[in-house]
Amino acid sequence: MSHRERMSPVDTTWLRMDRPNNLMMIIGVWMLEGPVALDEVEAQIADGLLGYRRYRQLVERTASGVFWRDDPNFDLGRHIHRIRLPGRGGKHALERLVGELASEPLDPNHPLWTVHVVEKYEGGAAVIFRMHHAIADGMALMDVTMKLVDGPQHRAASPGGDHEEEGFLQGLMAPVVAAINSGAEVSGSAVKTALGLVRDPLRAAGLLRDGAGVAAELGYLLIMAKDSATRFKGKPGGTKRVAWSEPLHLPEVKAVSRALGCSINDILLSSVAGAMRRYLSDCGDRTAGVECRALVPINLRAPGDVELGNRFGIIGVELPVGIEDPLERLATVRRRMLALKTSYEPQTTLGLFAALGVLPKIVQDKLFDLIVSRATAVMTNVPGPAEPLTVAGSLLKQSLFWVPQTGDTGMGVSILSYAGKVQFGLITDVALTPVPEAVVRHFHEEFEKYLYFVLLDAAGEDEAEAAQ
């Protein structure tokens, strides 16, 4: 008998957020060092994924709700493909392929995932993962990833503790949401509140109080001012491009952050803001006073919670793109990050997602559009394993991922720490930012400015000691 289970309200929200010009897919890329046993890699990935029932299930929409149901015609061949890049098949060709796959919808008649194994990539192979956001969030998918590699069961890094800095804001939040989880029901008052917000969000802003998680601060999320109008914002066309930088060495980033008296996250955020400013300047745009808000997912899972599904909230982080001086920009970022420590936005947005999941889609779209229209990008970081991993005996030398963009947001920024390195990736819509490489290359340059300041200060101290 076919197994069927009701989809949680939060996951339903992410399922229904698909749009033709912005698909709700999480994209991941592995680069494996040769030699690579491709058959063994494919078999190991299949065994790991199919250990979760969800990867055999399709989405069933009925009058009574949305369900996960076993696919009676499941065929692994629909989901795992082997391909080759055109020409010499280098980095640029792989970036172009990933962008094309990010623009291509998943088949709604079957489980919402695919894997493309790219042969002969830089003497080894590349693996491209596509999974719908309704299946899981980034933290859960990191744990899934750990079940696809060699050796004993690895566990993805968790926020807090030794990984707090690498967690990129996820360790910032002490409170953990209790009212909303995968099995929570949304009260009738939450539904009425959400409907009231659609009719008149300004009037309702001061009245939002609900035990299901839609709290007063939700009013701020819905009426906060829009960020600066730049070429990064507009109507996406649906054609995506991706790019990634060469990884930074994590010990080097840590050393620079200590020397400048800030966190690793502050350095990375300021470098991203600087790269965006440089791109706008290169295009001849005015940058003074520009603020770009990024929607940042914040992990709200309890310790040890690695179940599939989505358990995160969102906060709005304002990037001081218009500040040219690197140290002034860094100080501004640090001040803003410290202010976010007492924010309850993540909990309230998780409650919002649950409420939206039981409302008509037209209501969901109107409410969520109010939030995403006030932002330029979605930005996230997932802490990966500290040690190098292997897959079917081949070294996993580089790992990347890209987050989906919601509504009319046209940019996704991803940062992943893995094996002592920090990887920066960017996905953009061609209609808004046609050449993401032009932004990515500035990221390294902006970080190197901070490294230069540290080295210059150290040289000055050495000279002072020698003169004594």
- Chain center to CA of 203: 32
Q: Which residues contact 210 (CB under 8 A, 6 or more apart)?
A: 187, 189, 190, 193, 351
CATH code for 4-162? 3.30.559.10
Q: Which residues contact 128 (CB under 8 A, 6 or more apart)?
A: 27, 28, 29, 97, 98, 101, 115, 116, 117, 118
Q: Is residue 325 pLDDT above 90, yes or no? A: yes
Backbone φ, ψ for residue 47 (5° rounding): -60, -40
Q: Please report, for residues 246, 365, 372, 423, the alpha-carbon distance to residue 382 in angstroms, rounded to integers and kept in the order given.
A: 17, 27, 21, 10
Q: What amino acid is encoded at 265 in this protein?
A: N
Specify whether the backbone of 58 is left (phi greater than 0), alpha (psi in -120 to 50) or beta: beta
* Residue of 182, 179, 130 lying closest to 7 (CA atoms): 182
Q: Is residue 297 pLDDT above 90, yes or no? A: no
Q: Is residue 168 pLDDT above 70, yes or no? A: no
Q: Which residues contact 305 (CB under 8 A, 6 or more apart)?
A: 311
DSSP 8-state secondary structure symbol assigned to residue 345: H
Beta 113-121 vs 80-84: how paired, if at all? parallel
pLDDT digits (tens, 9 = 90+) for 401-433: 888 887 889 999 998 888 999 989 999 999 999
Greater pLDDT, 425 or 342: 425
pLDDT digits (tens, 9 = 90+) for 169-193: 333 322 222 322 333 333 344 434 4
Q: Using CA of residue 163, residue 166, residue 170, residue 172, what is the dihedral sign?
A: positive
Q: Tokens 């859960």: give the residue.
A: 140
Q: Please report, for residues 97, 207, 354, the alpha-carbon distance to residue 218 in angstroms, rounded to integers and kept in the order given.
A: 39, 10, 13
Which helix (DSSP H) or strand (DSSP E) does residue 454 occupy?
helix 437-467
Residue 8's pLDDT is 84
Residue 198's pLDDT is 37
